[in-house]
């Protein structure tokens, strides 16, 4: 059994840690209150209850804006809905999720000296960040979203039944849109002679130290993604124009645009082109989408490409009747988002929203808005996005055991009254 202090909390790491999970819930009671309750606007805003404000930011993320974060645990911090950001999410407001205890500052003491081992190529080698910086440059704006984002809505739905989903109760805030700068992986691979024959996956390994006495396979953050992503993956050293903070994976991070958070390996120390997926637990059985009551395995889908999704970011609280601008963010994972509709009556009638602000490419989210006249009364604001392939958000996604990939439009609705 794994020593609990080395696991953050929560994605259903192992299901035999109920006691621990209960403990976390007790300590972060405020965080639990901050969980978005479907169809209630108030959570979101006033979610900043006294108890929550009392949960201090952990030391390694002290520089974050405390007003913007819900501290679920030392290793799981959620962005409050009002701090989603518009075109880009400021790093001070971006969610944090560490599966293993975050490393110490020694990791970023010599950023340019950080070493990346590259294997599964014609000429295996070790390159420093300084060397990578000479090889090419690219920037991509993309949505970084934990696959568990929205789990709170699944959990809410199961309340009062004999079923439950374990894991952090993220509402909408395990997501942000950020710009990464680094070198295209493809350029690096070409420089080392190209992929070994038969390579089918890009496998990245996090550099966290594995505590002695534990089975590394159970702990290590090592993820494989299909090699079809070779054209878009990058090795990044900058986030929103600054060296990547320790919390977000500095000095070097593997970025897989369009793919769920876990595939974006922080502190990347090893990159390998492999013919099979890694057999690390985080790939083999965890982060798999499977029915309630079944186990995760290599036979069911991994949380790879993200699905089309959107939510309203304002207004989030009661206000004055009259002219109101309803705004939010929408994205399509691997695909550009094509259309967003807004409903003010919980999905009975829909109106097309306008995209506003710059289009930062297919992996980024787009801000949308609709100005409308609203009489005094009660409203339920929801948004529904469609991507460039014609896929539309479902009203309610199907349940799955890990509570992954929630992209329903109904549950994140905002209930407000206008006087």
Does the protein bind ligand MTE through residue 99 (CB under 6 A)?
A: yes
Which residue, 143 or 327, has its beta carbon nearer to ligand MTE? 143
DSSP codes of every residue in 92-107: GG--EE-SBPPP-GGG
Collect all residues with Cβ–Cβ distance below 8 Å to 310 and sequence separation of at least 6: 328, 329, 330, 331, 337, 340, 368, 383, 384, 385, 393, 409
Collect all residues with Cβ–Cβ distance below 8 Å to 177 and sequence separation of at least 6: 85, 87, 88, 89, 141, 142, 143, 144, 329, 331, 360, 364, 365
Does the protein bind ligand MTE through residue 199 (CB under 6 A)?
A: no
Which residue, 364 or 369, has its beta carbon nearer to ligand MTE? 364
**Contacting ligand MTE within 260-279 (CB under 6 A):** 261-262, 264-267
Q: Residue 43: name the closest of 54, 31, 55 by CA.
A: 31
Residue 266 binding: pick among Mo ion, ligand MTE, none (C-beta 5-8 Å cut-off by kind): ligand MTE
Q: What DSSP character marks residue 259? A: B
Residue 151 binding: pick among Mo ion, ligand MTE, none (C-beta 5-8 Å cut-off by kind): none
Using CB under 5 A as the criterion, what x/- string covers residues 96-135 for binding Mo ion? -x--------------------------------------
Does the protein bind ligand MTE through residue 235 (CB under 6 A)?
A: no
Q: How far is the CB of 419 from ligand MTE (least distance, A)?
A: 38
Would you say how long the chain is, in residues? 419
Q: Residue 405: name the closest of 164, 32, 222, 146 by CA.
A: 146
Does the protein bind Mo ion through residue 261 (CB under 5 A)?
A: yes
Instruction: Give the residue carrying structure tokens 């949380």.
Output: 303
Residue 149 binding: pick among Mo ion, ligand MTE, none (C-beta 5-8 Å cut-off by kind): none
Using CB under 5 A, which of 21, 116, 146, 256 touches Mo ion?
Answer: 146
Phi first, then psi: give them for residue 414, nearest 5 degrees: -115, 120
Collect all residues with Cβ–Cβ distance below 8 Å to 23 and sequence separation of at least 6: none
Which residue, 194 or 211, has its beta carbon nearer to ligand MTE? 211
SS3 state of residue 398 = coil
Sign of CA pseudo-dihedral 156, 408, 44, 143: positive
Using CB under 6 A, which of 13, 100, 280, 306 touches ligand MTE?
Answer: 100
Collect all residues with Cβ–Cβ distance below 8 Å to 197 and sequence separation of at least 6: none
Using CB under 6 A as the criterion, what x/- string covers residues 206-225 for binding ligand MTE? x-x------------x----
Using CB under 6 A, which of 61, 69, 96, 185 touches ligand MTE?
Answer: 96
Does the protein bind Mo ion through residue 47 (CB under 5 A)?
A: no
Using CB under 6 A, which of 17, 72, 186, 248 touches ligand MTE?
Answer: 248
Which residue, 31 or 413, has its beta carbon nearer to ligand MTE? 31
Using CB under 6 A, which of 24, 142, 144, 411 touches ligand MTE?
Answer: 144
Q: Residue 261 and residue 267: Cα distance in Å, rounded?
A: 14
Residues in the site for ligand MTE, rule: CB under 6 A? Answer: 94-100, 144, 146, 206, 208, 221, 248-249, 261-262, 264-267
């Amino acid at each position: 059994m794994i020593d609990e202090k080395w696991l953050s909390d929560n994605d259903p790491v192992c299901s035999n840690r109920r006691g621990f999970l209960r403990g976390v819930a007790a300590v972060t009671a405020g965080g639990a209150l901050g969980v978005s309750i479907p169809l209630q606007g108030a959570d979101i805003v006033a979610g900043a209850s006294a108890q929550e404000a009392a949960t201090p930011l952990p030391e390694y993320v002290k520089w974050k804006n405390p007003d913007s974060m819900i501290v679920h645990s030392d290793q799981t911090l959620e962005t409050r809905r009002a701090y989603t950001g518009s075109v880009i999410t400021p790093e001070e407001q971006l969610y944090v999720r560490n599966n293993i205890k975050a490393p110490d500052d020694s990791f970023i003491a010599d950023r340019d000296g950080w070493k990346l081992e590259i294997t599964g190529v014609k000429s295996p080698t070790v390159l420093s960040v300084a060397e990578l910086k000479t090889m090419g440059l690219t920037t991509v704006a993309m949505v970084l979203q934990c696959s568990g984002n929205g789990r709170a809505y699944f959990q809410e739905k199961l309340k009062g039944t004999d079923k439950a989903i374990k894991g952090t109760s993220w509402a909408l805030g395990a997501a942000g849109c950020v710009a990464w700068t680094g070198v295209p992986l493809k350029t690096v691979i070409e420089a080392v002679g190209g992929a070994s024959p038969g390579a089918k996956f890009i496998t990245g390994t996090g550099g966290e130290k594995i505590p002695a006495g534990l089975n590394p396979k159970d702990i290590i953050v090592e993820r494989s993604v299909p090699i079809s992503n070779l054209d878009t993956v990058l090795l990044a050293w900058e986030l929103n124009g600054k060296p990547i903070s320790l919390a977000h994976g500095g000095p070097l991070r593997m970025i897989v645009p369009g793919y769920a958070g876990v595939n974006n390996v922080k502190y990347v120390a090893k990159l390998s082109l492999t013919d099979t997926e890694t057999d690390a637990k985080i790939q083999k059985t965890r982060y798999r989408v499977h029915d309630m009551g079944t186990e995760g395995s290599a036979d069911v889908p991994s949380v790879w490409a993200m699905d089309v999704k959107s939510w309203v970011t304002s207004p989030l609280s009661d206000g004055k009747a009259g002219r109101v601008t309803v705004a939010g963010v929408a994205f399509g994972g691997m695909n550009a988002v094509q259309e967003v509709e807004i409903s003010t009556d919980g999905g009975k009638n829909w109106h097309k929203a306008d995209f506003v602000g710059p289009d930062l490419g297919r992996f980024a989210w787009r801000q949308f808005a609709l100005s409308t006249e609203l009489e005094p009364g009660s409203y339920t604001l929801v948004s529904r996005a469609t991507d460039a392939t014609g896929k539309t958000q479902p009203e309610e996604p199907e349940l799955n055991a890990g509570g992954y990939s929630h992209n329903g439009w109904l549950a994140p609705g905002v209930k407000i009254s206008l006087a």
